[in-house]
Amino acid sequence: MPEHGSRPVVLAGLAIAVTAVNLRTAVTGITPLLEVVGDDLGYGLTIAGLIGTLPAVAFAVFGFLAPVVTRRFGLERTATAALGLTAVALVLRALSPTPVALVLSTVLALAGMGAANVVMVPLVKVWFADRLALWTSLYMLLLQTGQFVAPLMAVPVAEAASWRVSLGLWAIPAAVASLVWLLLTVRLRADHHATATSTSGRTALRVSGSPTAWGLMVLFATISVANYGIVTWVPSVITDAGGSTALGGAMVGLYSAWGVLAALVVPQLATRMENPFVVVVGCAVLLLVGYAGLALSPLDGTYLWMCALGIGVSPFPLCMTLINRRTRTPQAASATSGFVQGLGYGVACIGPVGLGLLREATGSWTVPLVALAATVLPGVVAGWFACRPRYVEDSVHPLA
């Protein structure tokens, strides 16, 4: 932990907590309102679909760019700018007069969130290296909380005020997070950004030479494909089988609720077990059970299948924890976080689209579910490399 006294540490903890709440609100806060906003601004399914695919694309692109920025400006300053950009963009989105303005402001908001996604992992390592499990659990728990609360508030706030107020509301916590990071940055030593971000100046690491980094990336990618696929298409699987729309929505809620439990439990396991590969294997089995259940009997045992899938995607917090556990320095954690999330979200972009195309081509959900099941195997293989007690730095070299 940096030696800056108790007050900066408290500020850092507050900043991490408030940032975590903001990491998904720009995504989930608009989805329940897409039809309402579309009726007002005059766009159809094409724009709505574009907005739905932007998060994974933005998280991928800006996940790659974030480590480059942190090497120049430091983790805390990058977090300050990222959250500030998100706050401004959310205000602009709420004021959007046209569909083009709505899309462009959404891209800016997601750019800030994508950068914040990456720097959060090494920031936890910088400030709370001796309490990684606790702070990773807290960070993931608050991320899930923001992801839940934003869509729950969206429609009631829009009905009580307007959709513009509902969308713009989330600029407030983003601005608060940016302000707290700014206060912390002002209090830090002038040389903090050189020492906290890197143990050897601002030298970059080519983490793509590490089997551990590749294992983390592929595991993260397969879980992201599963998550985006489940959230996007499970309601259609259920309604196509004769279930109600309400049941489909409730099952996505049930699936998402397990993320809270995973955020509390998985980081603890990842820090206490030398090799948590058993967690990956257990989750893989549950994913296969969930996919098979939905394919063979979508309306009988639906609750069981969704619980299996909800627990099955628990390698997501595992990856976030292992990025810190499998790196020695914040510099390596930042580079690995950008590599894992950049490529991982990039792969995840094709998931919902590919599954939808398979559904159209085959006329049923069986083949798409089999395709999702097929992603489990590379996830398990990648998990073996990710979970081994090896460090990313052991097999990479600084860039010239």
- Asked if 312 and 286 count as a contact pair (C-beta separation under 8 A), the reply is yes
Q: How far is 390 from 326, CA to CA, in rounded Å?
A: 6
The pLDDT tens digits of the residues spanning 105-116 come to 999 999 999 889
Averaged pLDDT for residues 271-289? 95
Region 80-107: mean pLDDT is 94
Q: For residues 339 and 371, give the distance between their C-alpha atoms in angstroms, rounded to a whole number.
A: 25
Mean pLDDT of the 370-384 span: 96
147-168: b or e for each residue (b if 16 or more CB lie within 10 Å)?
Answer: bbbbbebbeebbeeeebbebbb
Please name which of 275, 305, 274, 302 lies closest in space to residue 288, comparing C-alpha atoms. Answer: 305
pLDDT recorded at residue 176 = 94
Does residue 314 contact residue 222 with C-beta atoms inside 8 Å? Answer: no
Residue-level pLDDT at 45: 63
Q: Between 129 and 298, name the one with better pLDDT.
A: 298
Between 282 and 27, residue with greater pLDDT: 282
Query: Above 80 in pLDDT, residue 284?
Result: yes
Q: Where are the alpha helices (DSSP H) in the chain?
A: 6-22, 25-28, 34-41, 45-73, 75-94, 99-127, 132-160, 163-168, 171-187, 192-197, 211-240, 245-272, 277-296, 302-312, 315-325, 330-348, 350-362, 366-374, 376-387
Task: Please state, rounded to an integer, the average pLDDT across all residues of the chain.
Answer: 85
Check pLDDT > 90 for residue 294.
yes
Asked if 82 and 169 count as a contact pair (C-beta separation under 8 A), the reply is no
pLDDT score at 399:
52
The model's pTM: 0.79
* Cα–Cα dist 84/90, whole Å: 10
Domains by residue range for the chain, with CATH: 6-197 (1.20.1250.20), 207-392 (1.20.1250.20)
Q: What is the mean pLDDT of residues 199-212?
A: 66
Region 157-178 average pLDDT: 92
pLDDT (mean) for 293-305: 93
Residue 205, pLDDT score: 64
Once rounded to an integer, what is the mean pLDDT over residues 57-66? 81
Residue bearing the bigger pLDDT, 302 or 397: 302
Least confident of 6-10, 84-88, 190-194, 240-244: 190-194
Residue 340 reports pLDDT greater than 60:
yes
